[in-house]
Structure 1
Amino acid sequence: LSNLCKKGILERVKQGVYQKNDTITDEFVKIQKNNNVIFSNTTALYFHNLTDRVPNTISITVPQGYNVLHITKKFENLKIHYVKKE
């Protein structure tokens, strides 16, 4: 896999996840690269086929105190929810 990435054939999305370099990556995949992010609310309903409406705002939940600045800089249409760590 490392050689294919060096040759530009594959792109590493995150640890253990690769995609062909010519593949178009949607916002959902880019956001999910972070292990601390969970899709929630209407976005989760959409992924579970409980609604047919594509969310115009992506709802995510992160642990309370987690710095989401790097995510909010890349994506404007986010609604952030926080949950206390157990």
Structure 2
Amino acid sequence: MADTVIVDSAGAQMKLYEVKPEGAIKGAVIVIQEAFGITDHIMDVCGRLAAEGYVAVAPHVFHRSGDPVIGYDKMQEVIPHIMGLNRA
């Protein structure tokens, strides 16, 4: 079952895309997004992991810069979001 969960991230709201398996849970996996956001591909990876029995979550890493989903052919649009990442 896929869902979006909201968590606190150093004072900001961050979404996690979460997929839980239907049966017994074997463990959990954090799926780190590509430079393009939480794309259909990342959601599919989470779904495939859940089908194997794992809770899969993908944090929306770009939550402070608008949480975009950027086309794979738009690498120039990715750069400001990546440059905006920091430890905090």
TM range (shorter): under 0.3
More RCO (CA 8 Å, sep 6+): 2
Tell me which structure has the larger Cα radius of gyration. 1
TM-score (norm 1): 0.24
